[in-house]
Amino acid sequence: MAKTINVALIGQGFMGRSHSNAWGQVNRFFKPELQSVLHTVYGMKGEPTPEFAKTWGWLHTSDNWETLIKSPEIGLVDIVTPNFMHAPPAKAAVAAGKPCACEKPIASTLDEAREMAEAAARAKVPTFVWFCYRRTPAVALAHQMVKSGKLGEIRHIRASYLQDWADDSVPMAWRFKKESAGSGAHGDLNAHIVDMTRFVSGLEVEEICGAMATTFVKKRRIIEQDSGGGIQLSDEQMRYAKAGGGAEQFGDVTVDDAVSFIVRYNNGAMGTYEAARQATGNQNANGFEINGTKGSVKFNFERMNTLEYYDATQPRAYQGWTTIMCTHGGDHPYVANYWPDAHLIGYEHGFTSMAYDILQVLNGKEPTVPLPDFNEGYQTARILEAALIAASEKRWVLLDSVK
């Protein structure tokens, strides 16, 4: 008889679908010793929670997250609400002694992030932040390669997460408001690449050596339904908006469209980061290049099944960038649980693989590669905050000065 743990999902939306799928697929593909039960999904009154539950196989629904989190039936709280609504349920969960998994970025303010990390430390419960790109096989392989010394000493990291969905015609949504999103491309996209490069390189940022933040589209048309952030507007909403729907109502965009910054790591290496939403031609170009004295790796999520590797220890005549198809079950993380070689996996598998590692940890096992907890989420938030200070005060910022 398999062991099981009851999951409560706090929220729905795009991430609600991703997580629901993961909690279902993980049992089918990984057959973990500790299996997830899709127990209860929370939605506000008026949200189509029953339909969501039926589609994804949640056994119960709730419109009171405070009660739900405390329920003795719940073994794991999973949070997928908008950023500003991460901290309250997360703190409630750890206060109730419940393991808690929270979507990224960990919170919409650094204060909240620090409070969550402190609360988790006090409660001594396992926590997790869904930086799911760590579990892309190519990224996990890069982590393993750096750790085993294959790259030598790292000298350069350049990371960027470029999208192009937010052109001038896209209407106002929660993602464009500071009060709901905390920040724009910075928290949405730089958060991912900061976590991913810390994970892969093992380096820590010591100083922000310059930063720039900007908002290209300062006003956006308001339409009636705001279902969740541009990227999630339905096709009809988008067409309506692009056609000028919503008439003369415009709202101020109060978050960044793009943020770039330069860093110095603890070993002296140089790093650059850039997040953008109007980088035409890049739909989901979430990637990095890391150069070490013995080799380099390069990754772009738009070709997520492959890792580029330059092995500078090979005979010079045969050196070059090698495109590793990271789908070989015997050799690459996670993929043995999916399909044969080069029968590609996709975006959603990062969530499924992370669900597996969470279940492993809750079952007392080691995860395949390290999982980020609330403290890790807080460390990433400190770097993001330091970059914003550097941009607004037009100077370098030592990370130690930002808590």
Q: Does 399 engage in binding with its own copies (CB under 8 A)?
A: no
Which pair of tokens denotes residue 14?
Answer: 């795009």
CA dihedral sign of residues 339, 344, 347, 350:
positive
From 47, 228, 370, 396, residue interacting with its own copies (rule: CB under 8 A): 396
Nearest distance from C-beta of residue 214 to its own copies, angstroms: 6
CB closer to its own copies out of 11 and 89: 11
CB closer to its own copies out of 4 and 272: 272
Question: In 10 A of CB 86, how many CB atoms?
Answer: 27
Measuring CA to CA, how many Å separate 53 from each of 49, 262, 374?
6, 44, 28
Q: Does 278 engage in binding with its own copies (CB under 8 A)?
A: yes
Q: Does 4 engage in binding with its own copies (CB under 8 A)?
A: no
CB closer to its own copies out of 116 and 166: 166
CB closer to its own copies out of 207 and 376: 207
Q: Does 341 engage in binding with its own copies (CB under 8 A)?
A: yes
Q: Per CB under 8 A, which of residues 197..226 are in contact with its own copies?
A: 208-212, 214, 216
CB closer to its own copies out of 111 and 167: 167
Q: Does 319 engage in binding with its own copies (CB under 8 A)?
A: yes
Q: Per CB under 8 A, which of residues 130..149 are in contact with its own copies?
A: 141
Measuring CA to CA, how many Å separate 249 from each of 20, 56, 70, 230, 245?
36, 37, 42, 17, 9
Residue type, 323: T
Q: Which span (67-75, 96-104, 184-192, 290-298) binds its own copies, by CB under 8 A? A: 290-298
Q: Does 347 engage in binding with its own copies (CB under 8 A)?
A: yes
Q: What are phi and psi of 166, to 5 degrees?
A: -95, 50
CB closer to its own copies out of 120 and 269: 269
Measuring CA to CA, how many Å separate 272 from each of 197, 288, 349, 368?
11, 10, 28, 28
Q: Does 195 engage in binding with its own copies (CB under 8 A)?
A: no
> Strands, DSSP E only, in 164-319?
205-214, 219-221, 250-252, 258-265, 270-276, 285-292, 295-300, 306-311
Q: Does 155 engage in binding with its own copies (CB under 8 A)?
A: yes
